[in-house]
Amino acid sequence: MTTKIDYKKELEAASRGMIMIHDPELLIKLIVRMIVGKVQIKHAGMIVYDADRDCFVLNISKGETGFKIPAGFARFDNNHPIIALFNKKEYRTLVLNRNAIVTQDINKLIWQESVMREGSGKKELLYKVADQMHMIGAVACVPAYYSDKLQAVLLLGARNDGDKFDQQELDFFAALASDAAMAIRNAQLFIEAKREAEKTRDLFFRTTLVLASAIEIKDKYTHGHTERVTNYAVMIAQRMVENGSANFDQKFLENVHISSLLHDIGKIGVPEVILNKPGQLTHEEFEIMKRHTTNGVEILKPLLELKDALDGVKSHHERYDGGGYPEGLKGEQIPMVAAIIAVADTYDAMITDRPYRKGMSKEEAVAEIKSNILKQFHYQPAQALIELYELGKV
């Protein structure tokens, strides 16, 4: 009897695991191994875009002996029928309903009116796709996009029990492919980041900005949030110097800047269904969301140049009264860079509209921060924000 799979649970587990891996080849190997093992299919493979060669390369193929994709199919250029189907806008509409191309659907697609129309080229392409899928033993191909660009394609062999893939399974593969594309691109960015950061400080800051922008691609409701929090945090730190409550040097101010840019980087490991949920999170979903602080530390730890940013990334949701996360730090145990980001992050969250609620006025948000000094917020950064508001700077 076939064991029923909890696809939501498997997707969340896979998403958490993906973001901790910075080696693209290892990441792909684990994804393919998980698919073959959990879904019980004869073989699976993944082809991934190689920017240096401007083609798609078969990174891994796993399955039973005799079922693996042959070595001759290691490279797929941009005109390969399977790549063209997913990469060219005029053909992508053919697979929108299923999030994949499945061999059992191809004949139905060929007889659609829009496909049969002369000059469309769709019928000829589908015949070629069917031939190629037959040659490599794939019964389903699932695209993975990053920022609307084809990043990879999952190649799936037949199920061991001979059953066809149902829509729930295809949806799971599509969601897995989406998270995999983000994780693969993120892993590639880290390799690039380590290389570039060794050259010059200017390139290091550019790489930091690339990493910071990654979460805003995935989380559509926080577009612009990172930039605003960074601006507020830097202004708060500078105001603390101006009013004499702190004596920060230039290195600390730079660390506030970098930490703020990267404070939510760990959300890359949170499933999009949770990040973009229009209503209140369940307890289970919130526990997953909370992991973005420690996920962020794990993501940045390999980059030695970012070691000073870890405190801000990890501790910006700690509360002065000890009721925060992930460690329940209290009072002066909370690093000052994290205390500054906490005020900036909360202020922006309160004044920004969300799909499920309208943002507060600035006056209301400042009053809320004032009432939570020494409860949620450290006195000095909270007071600095209040002064910036009174000066008309925020």
Ranges in the chain annotated CATH 1.10.3210.10:
200-390
State whether the Cα torsion 21-23-24-30 is positive or negative: negative
Of 269, 146, 144, 15, nearest in space to 156 by CA: 144
pLDDT of residue 220: 62
The pTM assigned to this predicted structure is 0.55
Q: Quick one: pLDDT band at residue 13, thresholds 50, 70, 90?
A: low
pLDDT tens-digit profile of 304-333?
Answer: 777 888 999 999 999 999 999 999 999 999
Which CATH code of 2.40.160.60, 1.10.3210.10, 1.10.1760.20, 3.40.190.10 fits the domain covering 200-390? 1.10.3210.10
pLDDT tens-digit profile of 214-232?
Answer: 676 666 656 688 889 999 9
Q: How far is Cα 126 from Cα 81, in angstroms, rounded to an integer?
A: 8
State whether the Cα torsion 173-176-180-182 is positive or negative: positive
Ranges in the chain annotated CATH 3.30.450.40:
7-184
Q: Please state which of the ranges 98-107, 162-171, 189-198, 265-274 shows the lowest mean pLDDT.
A: 189-198
Q: Quick one: pLDDT band at residue 66, thresholds 50, 70, 90?
A: very low
Strand partners, 146: 149
Mean pLDDT for all residues in the chain: 83
Q: Tokens for 109, please give them.
A: 């697609």
Q: Quick one: pLDDT band at residue 171, thresholds 50, 70, 90?
A: confident
Q: To 10 degrees, what angle do helices 379-390 and 336-351 make? A: 40
Mean local confidence (pLDDT), 14-21? 67
Phi, psi of 47, deg, nearest 5: -105, 135
Which CATH code of 3.30.450.40, 3.30.450.20, 1.20.1250.20, 3.30.9.10 fits the domain covering 7-184? 3.30.450.40
**pLDDT of 63 above 70:** no
Q: How far is Cα 57 from Cα 76, in angstroms, rounded to an integer?
A: 6
Q: How far is Cα 53 from Cα 349, in angstroms, rounded to an integer?
A: 43
Say which residues have a Cβ less than 8 Å from residue 225's Cβ, sequence separation at least 6. Answer: 216, 264, 348, 349, 352
